[in-house]
Structure 1
Amino acid sequence: MNTKKERTLQLTLNVVGILMFMGVLIRWWTAPFSVSRDLQIYYNQGFQMTLNERKEFLAFVLCAASVYFSLVNVYFLGKTGRRLVYTVLVLFAVFSLYMMLTLLAVATH
């Protein structure tokens, strides 16, 4: 049974997630714009994403958003949901450390 406080927190986290991922998607259009040394904004064609980069970027954002919203909403299902979310976060942390060490080992050889 969700209390009003939990529902408000869940709604807040969902709204923050929507704003956050909308901000990430805005990068799609704002990346080619740069600021020169004399503070003039100009369009840099070299920063424009290719079609393949756009597909990869969109896939990354959609996957990250689905993980975020899934974890936020599972967290509020109860005690089991909280345990599941904490377990997933610990696994993400361990995997990130493993990948960091693997990439460091590859880069130094």
Structure 2
Amino acid sequence: METKLQTNQNIEMKSKKEDSVRTLLNIIGFLIFGGLALTMITNPPHSTKEMKEFLFFIMGSTFIYYILVNVYFLGELWRKVVYTTLFIIGGMSIFIIFYLSTSSIPH
């Protein structure tokens, strides 16, 4: 008699709930950043320099948002990367608040 050996295969199954949450977050991001882009029509900036800066802000924020949302759903290790990135962004924001409140801005 000969035994048949089967290898152990690790298969990760994505639940429908994860896919629906991912889709929901992508739709929410589209609405948020689409709404920001629409404000250029409803309340136009005063100069082309302001318009360029606002567009760069929207594009940068959109890029960071979608990268973090989609990397989050890659696996457990990537979730830790997303949490660490959010922690760093939050820490930098708090540092910038204190820096700008204590330093004078020449006009």
Matches within 5 A, 1:1-109: 1-32=13-44, 48-107=45-104
The residue type equivalent to 1:30 in the other structure is T
Percent pairwise identity: 37
The residue type equivalent to 2:53 in the other structure is E
Partner of 2:5: none
Aligned length: 93
Q: What is the CA-CA distance between 1:49 and the residue it aligns to?
A: 2.8
Q: What is the CA-CA distance between 1:58 and the residue it aligns to?
A: 0.5
Which whole-Å CA distance do the structure 2 matches of 1:7 and 1:93 have between them?
Answer: 27
Q: Which runs of 5+ in 1 are unaligned?
A: 33-47
Q: Which runs of 5+ in 2 are unaligned?
A: 1-12
Higher helix share: 1
Which whole-Å CA distance do the structure 2 matches of 1:52 and 1:12 have between them?
Answer: 34
The residue type equivalent to 1:74 in the other structure is V
- Offset from partner CA, 1:34-64 (integer Å, 9 cap, x none): xxxxxxxxxxxxxx43111111110100000
Higher strand share: 1
Return the TM-score normalized by structure 2. Answer: 0.82
- The structure having more radius of gyration, on CA atoms, is 2
